[in-house]
Structure 1
């Protein structure tokens, strides 16, 4: 997709304005300059409103109609709000236009009532224009709504952009842009098919089987709700964890608190290592119990068995040898020593009779003595078990004491920080920052506890599902319809398992491909000793080489933004690469996408602005950037000017004069733009 022209009519503060986007291969960047509040965010929302009928405004989100236009109209008048975009996609020219008609309801009505909404998409075919009869699916196919946050994003809130730094967002973005959602949908479809066959089983089944299926479905619904809650809590925990790291990084940069914060980090790292050692000891205890724990439970029975055998041997119940007369007595009684019948002519009878005359190398008495000896060895094994476990527990107790000591030191650092009244440039004191950090730590612990509870509940429910499924499988129902539906349900479940495995395999392949692109992009602009990667667990990590070893580092605001941009750029590059490749992809044909970003420099220092300015033009064939004058001046302008093909300035009038209303005009030359 390549943007050509955007036209706005009565859309918020824009009355009748047009932007033509640069389409030059070497100068594919279009820059739109404007002060805060001048309409940069409105332009970003114009794209999402046109494509998806979605807007995200901080103030008056429901007011789309131009305030001046509706103020000048009479009650009952109708005004048209529209956004029209001309673009090219796969060598075809398109014009997409969404319009909304609002009717003024009263003299003080500045919002209007929506009375009509229309979306049209036209395309040029052999020199003439034709209309798509399915405009919404057409636009969603070109840039799916699930990808909108990747291609139309507000960089002014750095946390939103850096929010890509979590497992769920990274996985979701990878599978969305690479088309892997097709497999995911296929998996869900197979699950739905299995569910329909289960409906048929229930319909034709016995009352008992129907009740089991109904109960299983209720438990499955419970699991789905619990998993959704687990995901929400996990995201909340990750967000809090990032907030804690941000606060600590602030304190690391302050001379007065840097040493204390560093000391706390060292204590915490040491405690983490000890806790990992404790977990290994716990694993050792579990191994001991698994290997020898049965001895402690079975020892009374083992001792009783050994004693009984010895008594039987001493009383002569166990003979010293197997002689012919003893065998004759068994054959005559027609019953084996084990109690089994010995009928003449049977195989067992012949086997016993064949023992007559054999030389017994070791009598039964000797065998009994050997068994008694083996049973007595269990006593030694029990002693060894208790000795080993006692040693591990003693070592673990010592480590717990060290953990308690380090925790006290960490708490002491926190107390010292809470006594510091020095105020930072942002207006917060070190004491305030530490109090905020401590509060976030409490929130994090609450989320961790909540996650553990939810996980346990999910596991309990899954065990319940397995038990119910076993009962369902064991149900005997001879009705032909029910048996057929059962077989079909089983087949659908097997297909679902295969699709799910294929989905996971492809997702990991794309992760590795994206990972290479991220390393290349991040490495070209970040410090030489820093690298970025997506781990096997789909976490975006930044690593640093320290003394020949690779250690994870907390990401500063600038590094987070560079890593996030590198991630987005890697997906765009992969999509373009797959699209331009001659060979057919087995899972994704790719595409060419533009990037539209509002204020990607706002929260960065000058050094990081320069680095981000270097990478932005490389992210996509066509990039649209909104920036204030203060963000643009200096390193950003120096780095990006050579690749800028078009520039516009937003001339904003706030409408403070009597009978005047806010309005923005788009100009092709610098206007007298107000403050930032």
Structure 2
């Protein structure tokens, strides 16, 4: 899960639509957001948890008051004010655009009324087009990073020491099983139990008494489906009109002298991207075809070796001759002359010896079949080698196409930057208008996604109803089949229990080892973390030769919690390489930390600042000036890829300004408000070369 950007609109302290907070990745994988207490650092942390899971951290005061107060005060009575958070992230070459939105309005008595928050999602695949997902956004998010695990990746550093209080141990055990993939087995077991009950009950489930009710439901669903289709058609038409306007503006850009070359280059790059994406789809289609048609050959060499060995054994035993035919032996006996020229007189020893070969010689068709099979089997090994060569070639081709696509995307982004910064105001305005239209199109497609999801749900419900209506009677054959399925289900439950037990123990020991490594790197104490079978994490002191538990301080508990999170990320990433149970994007994990250094002394702050960026693929730090300056800044400076400052506008009279110097420039942390409202603006920090 790679985070691309976060954007807010009227969310808590943040008035209006903020600029996108773009997150660093790669070698400089750290994004730092500076702000004083009360400026909105915790609000940004909770913007992540709200848009993904509609959850808030314990430190988030008054979570029911989400909409910015300044925007509400400026709105007329009963006028709806929108509040939303948008998050874009990547996983498995797909880009996910996520937006959670709610509205608030005030009445004439200045009472605030909120609407229910709604979640929308768009997904972009290899073809570059945005589509609403076929599944619900909640299901997709929980498959990528389950809600029960979000506290390990989006956390308040000042309260992280509470992770391992005794009353939380059971939750930690369950959450860790989710990351490991053991919960997949648990759900499989529960599913099998439900399937068993369903098999036991299905014979009495349907009957003619239900048919009328089912038909009534079918009619209502068909009416709902028709209304949804009309709404989808309306939005599709609106999107087409916007696309046409966008094309017109693009042509106008081509008419401006100086800009035309940049625009031509951009259009050329976009066209090349489209071709590459089409080729990617075709390559993946061919790869799937290769795997579905020819992958079986890799499993055949061992079987073919056994077959050859079996033929040789039969020949050694004389049960399968090496080419002698019954017809040939019978001809020798009739001619009464041996192959060597000797006379074969009936009832003599010589005659009987030749006659005995009749019992050893196989039928002609059996021998010929064996010879043909033997010839074909000998070619299997070469077929397997050919398959691996084709597979390597297909995968190399796909990899090369992805590299080319990345290059084209980078050049397109550079062309967009040139258009936005071009000195001609008309060109800048046209480019801004194009980007505005693109945003509107994405918004409409996001709305369309909800409609199409409802259409899919209604269609699926109609199919299920049709199947129920078609079933009136269940036969005796189906009863026997259900009994067989019940027996197989019971056996599968027993096997899954055993697999779960072994996997859990193996992973827990590996996790304990990694937590010990990280804790030892950060802490100068001789203590050693121990992880019990129920995932209770304690510190043990063993200097006297006798292991004894230690009453950990607040700082040690914070280090212990950070070590556990780092261990989880490292071990799940490593574990997923050889285990298919882990279904999450285990190669990439972000960490968002709010004030993670508050309870630590100077040495621990430096050690934590050094260790955490190495464990996470992306690190977002929300920090005050005091927490940042000094050892944390020195340890992290070379890893910073993006920086932002939260400028807090205070309505307090005679407010004293505060500032922070970054890259030889001053940025205001606190500034007087000119409209008697408090609010915060997000200011990107310019790099030295900008």
Structure 1 length as normaliser, TM-score? Answer: 0.53
**1:162 Cα offset (Å):** 4.1
Distance 1:6 1:551, change over 3 A: same
CA distance in 2, matches of 1:197, 1:128: 43
Equivalent residues in 2 for 1:130-279, closer than 5 Å: 130-134=131-135, 135-163=137-165, 167-196=169-198
The answer to whether residue 684 in structure 2 is matched with residue 668 in structure 1 is yes
Matched with 2:36 is 35
**1:489 Cα offset (Å):** 6.0
Deviations 1:34-56 (A, max 9, x none): 12221111101111111122234
Work out whether residues 165 and 540 of structure 1, in 8 Å CA contact, stay in contact via their aligned partners in 2: no
Partner SS, residue 102 of structure 1: strand
Work out whether residues 103 and 112 of structure 1, in 8 Å CA contact, stay in contact via their aligned partners in 2: yes
Work out whether residues 201 and 483 of structure 1, in 8 Å CA contact, stay in contact via their aligned partners in 2: no
Equivalent residues in 2 for 1:558-569, closer than 5 Å: 558-569=555-566
CA distance in 2, matches of 1:172, 1:480: 42
**1:166 Cα offset (Å):** 5.3
CA distance in 2, matches of 1:642, 1:165: 40
Matched with 2:590 is 594
Equivalent residues in 2 for 1:410-449, closer than 5 Å: none
Partner SS, residue 156 of structure 1: helix
Deviations 1:580-601 (A, max 9, x none): x4x5635556341101111112
**1:197 Cα offset (Å):** 5.9
**1:491 Cα offset (Å):** 6.0
Work out whether residues 180 and 507 of structure 1, in 8 Å CA contact, stay in contact via their aligned partners in 2: yes
**1:129 Cα offset (Å):** 2.8
Matched with 1:645 is 641
CA distance in 2, matches of 1:79, 1:106: 15
Distance 1:195 1:656, change over 3 A: farther
Equivalent residues in 2 for 1:97-112, closer than 5 Å: 97-106=99-108, 108-109=110-111, 111-112=112-113
Matched with 1:297 is none
**1:180 Cα offset (Å):** 1.8
Work out whether residues 609 and 635 of structure 1, in 8 Å CA contact, stay in contact via their aligned partners in 2: yes
Distance 1:575 1:183, change over 3 A: same
**1:669 Cα offset (Å):** 4.4
Distance 1:507 1:165, change over 3 A: farther
Partner SS, residue 541 of structure 2: strand
Work out whether residues 183 and 499 of structure 1, in 8 Å CA contact, stay in contact via their aligned partners in 2: yes
Structure 2 length as normaliser, TM-score? Answer: 0.52
Partner SS, residue 104 of structure 2: strand
Structure 1 residues 51-60 or 137-146, which shifts more? 51-60
Distance 1:191 1:625, change over 3 A: same
- Name stretches of at least 5 consecutive residues in structure 2 with no aligned partner: 206-475, 654-673
How many residues align? The count is: 392
CA distance in 2, matches of 1:27, 1:481: 61
Matched with 2:81 is 79
CA distance in 2, matches of 1:522, 1:516: 10
Distance 1:544 1:38, change over 3 A: same
CA distance in 2, matches of 1:116, 1:86: 18
**1:490 Cα offset (Å):** 6.8
Partner SS, residue 23 of structure 1: coil
**1:480 Cα offset (Å):** 13
Partner SS, residue 30 of structure 1: strand
Structure 1 residues 174-183 or 648-657, which shifts more? 648-657
Work out whether residues 174 and 510 of structure 1, in 8 Å CA contact, stay in contact via their aligned partners in 2: no
CA distance in 1, matches of 2:523, 2:119: 47
Matched with 2:11 is 11
CA distance in 1, matches of 2:133, 2:199: 38
Distance 1:549 1:508, change over 3 A: same
The answer to whether residue 120 in structure 2 is matched with residue 119 in structure 1 is yes
Matched with 2:519 is 522
CA distance in 1, matches of 2:131, 2:534: 47
- Name stretches of at least 5 consecutive residues in structure 1 with no aligned partner: 204-478, 671-676
CA distance in 2, matches of 1:133, 1:105: 39
**1:661 Cα offset (Å):** 2.0
Partner SS, residue 173 of structure 2: helix
**1:71 Cα offset (Å):** 0.5
Work out whether residues 180 and 588 of structure 1, in 8 Å CA contact, stay in contact via their aligned partners in 2: no
The answer to whether residue 504 in structure 2 is matched with residue 503 in structure 1 is no
Deviations 1:561-595 (A, max 9, x none): 1121111111111233345x4x5635556341101
CA distance in 2, matches of 1:653, 1:612: 32
Matched with 2:622 is 626
Partner SS, residue 36 of structure 1: coil
The answer to whether residue 50 in structure 2 is matched with residue 49 in structure 1 is yes
Distance 1:631 1:515, change over 3 A: same
Distance 1:52 1:538, change over 3 A: closer
The answer to whether residue 56 in structure 2 is matched with residue 66 in structure 1 is no
Q: CA-atom RMSD, angstroms?
A: 3.2
From 603, 608, 611, the counterpart of 1:607:
603
**1:89 Cα offset (Å):** 1.5
Matched with 2:538 is 541
**1:198 Cα offset (Å):** 6.5
CA distance in 2, matches of 1:660, 1:646: 32
